[in-house]
Structures are given as structure tokens and as C-alpha cells.
């Protein structure tokens, strides 16, 4: 595909379920998925043992869970340091002549505040640098620069779809 597909989607039809009584995760499969069929190309088991396909799914889901925990820890750190602020995703459409129309609020979201980051004490910045979080914070801030382009692309695609459907 030409677009990034999040791991949350790529792991489908597999997912881990938590078994807190035994402190373990159980690999589950959505048997209603249209590509999960009896006698399919990728068996789930070879005899009583998981197939290579199933082992790969378990590894992928395990990696996903590890990254999910890392993400939760990272977000907790940002919350504890009070680095988040609410932002609005805005879009300014243009009419056929290119004139700006009233801005539209698309969504609210949380982002790291550069101002709050700059106000952190030096020892906290060193801690963030040393544990790798500072790099992640700056990667997040850089990714926000693409928001306007992403919104413009989405609106352009939406405008072109009805025209293509009428062609």
C-alpha cells in the first residue's frame, strides 16, 4: 500500500487478551474475519503446535504490547511534567476564486507545548535527554508540522471524489 497502516490495524485478526489471574496474555483471533477460513493457505497449527504464521502473529502482537506499554509510560511522563496543551485543528477553505472562507474547527487534540517544554528545569531536560524521551518529544513536535498539509490533502481528496464519481 501507498500509505502507512498502523500496527493496531496490521495485527488484525489477532489480538492479545489479558488473563490477570495468571498474569499472562492470550492470543485471540477474530474467527469472523473474512480471510480466516477452514483449510486456508496459512494454517494456525501444525498438529498440536502453532504454525510459523501463528508464531509470527504472536511475535507481532507481543511487540505491539511492548510498544503500547512504552507509549503509556511516555504519555504518563508527559502528563506528570504537565507538558500537554489542548490544540485545535483548523482548516480555512477557499472558494472557486481562491478567496479564504471562514475557518472551520476540525478537532481538538493534545500536543506537547513548546513553551512548557522550555520552562522545564535543566535537570528534567537532562533526564528526558538521557532516557530518550526528549527525542520522542521533538519527533512529535516535528510531526505536527505536517498537520496542515494532511488536512489540505484530505479536503482535496474529498472534493475530487464527487467529481470522479460523476465522470
pTM: 0.73
CB 17 within 8 A of CB 26: yes
State yes or no: cis peptide before 13, omega within 30 of 0: yes
15 phi and psi, to 5 degrees? -160, 150
pLDDT surpasses 90 at 157: no
What 8-state DSSP symbol labels residue 102? P
Overall average pLDDT of the 47-75 stretch:
94
Overall average pLDDT of the 62-66 stretch:
94
Q: How confident is the model at residue 158 (pLDDT cuts 50, 70, 90)?
A: low
Amino acid at each position: 500500500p501507498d500509505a502507512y497502516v498502523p500496527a493496531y490495524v496490521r495485527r488484525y485478526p489477532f489480538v492479545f487478551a489479558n488473563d490477570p489471574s495468571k498474569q499472562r496474555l492470550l492470543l485471540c483471533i477474530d474467527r469472523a474475519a473474512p480471510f480466516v477460513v477452514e483449510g486456508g493457505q496459512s494454517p494456525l497449527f501444525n498438529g498440536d503446535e502453532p504454525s510459523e504464521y501463528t508464531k509470527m502473529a504472536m511475535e507481532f502482537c507481543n511487540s505491539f504490547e511492548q510498544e503500547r506499554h512504552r507509549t503509556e509510560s511516555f504519555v504518563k511522563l508527559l502528563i506528570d511534567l504537565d507538558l500537554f496543551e489542548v490544540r485545535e485543528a483548523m482548516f480555512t477553505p477557499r472558494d472557486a476564486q481562491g478567496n479564504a472562507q471562514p475557518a472551520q474547527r476540525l478537532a481538538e487534540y493534545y500536543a506537547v507545548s513548546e513553551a512548557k517544554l522550555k520552562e522545564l528545569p535543566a535537570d528534567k531536560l537532562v533526564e528526558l535527554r538521557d532516557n530518550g524521551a526528549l527525542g520522542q518529544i521533538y519527533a512529535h513536535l516535528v510531526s505536527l508540522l505536517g498537520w496542515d498539509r494532511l488536512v489540505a490533502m484530505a479536503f482535496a481528496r474529498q472534493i475530487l471524489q464527487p467529481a470522479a464519481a460523476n465522470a
